[in-house]
Structure 1
Amino acid sequence: MNNAHTPFATPRLHALDNLRALMMWLGIVLHVAINHLTLADSPLPWRDPKTSPVADLLLIFIHSFRMPVFFVLAGFFVALLVERRGANGMQKNRGLRLALPFVLFWPPLFALTTVLAMVFIHLTVRGVPGIDTALTPARQPGGTPFNTMHLWFLYQLFWLSVAAWAGVRLQRFVPVRLRAMAARVFIGLASRRWGFAVLALPLAVTGSFYPSGIVAGSSSFLPPFAEWVQSGLFFVFGWYVHAQQERLLALFAARCKGHALAGLACFVATLVLLGASKASGAHSLPPLPHAAFWIALAYNACAWLWSLALIGGFVRYLPRQNAVLAYLSQSSYWVYLVHMLGTIGFGILLFNAPFGAVAKMGLNIAATSLVALASYQLLVRHTPIGRLLNGQRGGEEEKRSTSKSTNARVLAAK
């Protein structure tokens, strides 16, 4: 087949850009929700006095698909870069788009986020703003106060890109049959309706080593093996989806509703299993056998199904990019970098506000979104920072051509 005339070989896939922008924005919602968790084992050491089960549900809901979608898209676009620029060209691009922004932005973001976090912790413990290093959570013996924070995604993605580069460079030493078999396995699982269950199994095994069954991000510069398995499998899946993007993206689009409903069933099963596991611990009931494994299996099955549903849904229903979606897509990288300053900073300002948890969350999400977008417009969009983060965009004629051809392919899949 001559890929020069297939819609998915065109320069930009606006459906996936739109999806990536939404996932970036959901990071704001997720990190605001963490301020208001009712859970005793909150992933962060600060908490607003007003809590809500809505925040708990938002956390587990968004966490189930947001990063899986990111890594599938990341693997897809790394494969696309290798196809167009070669392994070395891909690695140069990833160095400029991932490693360089991390090196430049991590130090100031770490310093500012640490100060804001310490103020929020002081508020949580003593009810007034302040900074007291004695309130900082104790580290593990031999540990370090430094971590990648929310930039762990950039950090891990860069190293996965390095692994992809090494794989391409070394593939000549791997038998052709073995490479072809790996491609058949992943493409076959992507094509089969039951493929998600097989893909969830290795993640269920790694998740079973965590008390809740859900792999929690450590933000460490040396992430544990389970985190590499979790992110790496979705990344590799996206890599192989690119190999047959025309057929598989059309297939995901055609099945998006079924994937969404099946994912909902797995999500409900996860909640039921989590509730049963906590009830057995709280009321001295017999423990649920292998609870962590079954929770991890249900949750990761949900992750696969909802990832496929979102990719397919955006390809089917949002293949075009209007002015608003284009702006959100272009600003999403900057918003991702700075949003934690807003979610923590506005959390501090709203700490003693006479509102309920849901109202506070809404105000924080709106304020963080507006300030992040305003800073993008004023400080980033038309500056070298914008060019660093987003690169050079294609012309409008090219974008219209991409939208038209993508839409035509989706209509053919219906």
Structure 2
Amino acid sequence: MNNAQSSTRFDALDNLRALMMWLGIVLHVAVNHITTASPLPWRDPKTSPVADLLLLFIHSFRMPVFFILAGFFAALLAERRGAGGMLKNRGLRLALPFAVFWPPLFVLTAVLSMVYIHLTVRGVPGFDRALTPARQPGGSPFNTMHLWFLYQLFWLCVLAWAGLRLRRFMPPRLCDAARRAFALLAQRRWGFLVLASPLALVGSFYPSGIVAGSGSFLPPLAEWVQSGLFFVFGWYLHGPREQHLLTLLAARCQSHALAGLGFFIATAVLLGAVRGGTALPLPWPHPAFWIAFAYNATSWLWSLALIGGFVRYVPHRNAVLAYLSQSSYWVYLVHMLGTIGFGILLFNAPFGALAKMGLNIAATSLVALASYELLVRYTPIGTLLSGRHVTRARRGLPASAG
């Protein structure tokens, strides 16, 4: 593959990663306004079914896409730098930022969360630890919050490193068989059905059929399986047949998107029926299995559609997406402070749910980007997050494998 093709491929995937990062702001703002049971102990008094739909919609593909891209670039690093070089890079880019930023973000998020909970329960700002939801006996007061992605991804890279070390003791045919199997699933139109099946089995142990992130430092096996399969798929997406597979995904992006829409509608219908107490004439096993199957089929189809769509329609860098890509790590780290903080400020504002959501998304985006430009981009913090020193004369650098 020539350098021009390689650059185009990385630009497309960087553009996709930038959009997925920004959608995290939309998702976490939507959580403030959902009408159904919230995974968080606070809620704005104005709710909307649009928030429910946005949460289900974005959640269905955002993290799957991230883990596929993470696996792809981890494999790229292993090819270029070896197993040890890949692990060292992931330690510097994932483990070190987690260790540096988790403590202050945990404290600040906890404080803002307690203020928001006080608003939710009593209608006025305040601070009362008694309102904090009780932990399970023996449970830890600490969790990885939204940084669970960094935490799990680093440990998946450790497992990938261990796998590369052990590969020398394994028959070459076995390793090649795994690569061919994932390539086959990527090529065949029915491949998503096979990929969704183990995730449906895992999801069937959850009431809604959807694996919910616990944020635990010791996540349950279901979360590792959910994240790990997408990571492994991305790992095997990189390789000798990479250009062929990406070209194929680009050609099929529209059909994947339409098929994903069908499974998404099925997911919404099944979820609505189960939450409404409607008996569903579904075959064995439990209805949660079929919800999980439809939901994970959606995840695979839309993930493949987005990867192919960006390779096909957004293959080149532009100023906006390049900047979003460069700032995305910082925005990811701090955006929860904005979505909670502006949620508090807008709590008693005389606006509807959709207006509040729009204001919060805009304010969080602007403040996060402004803080990146003023406090991060040309500082040691920016160097820590990007892996390279950026000066005002040195802009637009690719972030793909960094």
Normalised by the length of structure 1, the TM-score is 0.92
| Aligned position for 2:24 | 27
**Alignment match, 1:307:** 303
Pairing of 1:89-238 with structure 2 (within 5 A)? 89-238=85-234
Give the secondary structure class of the aligned counterpart of 1:69: helix
Residues in 2 aligned to 1:33 and 1:25: alpha-carbon distance in whole angstroms: 13
1:55: which partner in 2? Answer: 51
SS class of match (1:150): helix
Tell whether the 8 Å contact from 1:7 to 1:246 is kept in structure 2 after alignment.
no
Query: What residue in structure 1 maps to residue 316 of structure 2?
Result: 320
Q: 1:259 aligns with which of 235, 252, 256?
A: 256
In structure 2, what is the Cα distance between the partners aligned to 1:224 and 1:253? 35
Shift of 1:278: 2.2
SS of residue matched to 1:35: helix
Rounded Cα–Cα distance in structure 1 between residues aligned with 2:282 and 2:70: 37
Over aligned residue pairs, what C-alpha RMSD do you find?
1.8
Aligned AA (2:177) = M
Match of 2:341 among 336, 339, 345: 345
TM-score, structure 2 length as denominator? 0.95
Look up the equivalent residue of 1:246 and give its one-letter code.
Q
Q: Is the 8 A contact 1:19 1:311 kept in 2?
A: yes
Q: Count matched residues.
A: 393
- Cα distance between partner residues in 2 of 1:88 and 1:69: 25
Separation of aligned partners in 1, 2:304 and 2:280: 36
Amino acid of the residue matched to residue 309 of structure 1?
A
Provide the C-alpha distance between the structure 1 equivalents of 2:396 and 2:224, rounded to a whole number of angstroms. Answer: 40
The residue number in structure 1 matching 2:375 is: 379
Q: Deviations over 1:39-70 (max 9, x none)?
A: 0x210000000000010000000000000000
Instruction: Name the stretch that deviates more: 117-126 or 8-17.
Output: 8-17
Q: Give the share of equivalent positions with the same residue, in percent.
A: 77
In structure 2, the CA distance between the partners of 1:255 and 1:293, relative to structure 1 (3 Å rule), is same
1:72 pairs with 2:65 = no
**Shift in Å at residue 222 of structure 1?**
0.4
Unaligned runs of 5+ in 1: 403-414
Structure 2: which 5+ runs fail to align? none
2:8–2:316 Cα contact (<8 Å) kept: no
Structure 1 residue 324: deviation in Å? Answer: 1.4
Displacement after TM superposition at 1:390 (Å) = 1.0
* 1:322 counterpart letter in structure 2: N
Which residue matches 1:275? Answer: 272
Is the 8 Å Cα contact of residues 32 and 343 (structure 1) preserved in structure 2? yes
CA distance in 1, matches of 2:51, 2:116: 18
Deviation at 1:280, TM superposition (A): 2.9
**Structure 1 counterpart of 2:67, one-letter code:** F
Aligned with 2:275: secondary structure?
A: helix
Q: In terms of mean alpha carbon deviation, does 92-101 or 169-178 score higher? A: 169-178
Q: Distance between the aligned counterparts of 1:350 and 1:225, measured in 2?
A: 38
Contact 1:280–1:286, Cα closer than 8 Å, also in 2? no
Which residue of structure 2 aligns with residue 331 of structure 1? Answer: 327
> Residue deviations 1:378-412, cap 9 Å, x none?
0000011111111238988997xx9xxxxxxxxxx
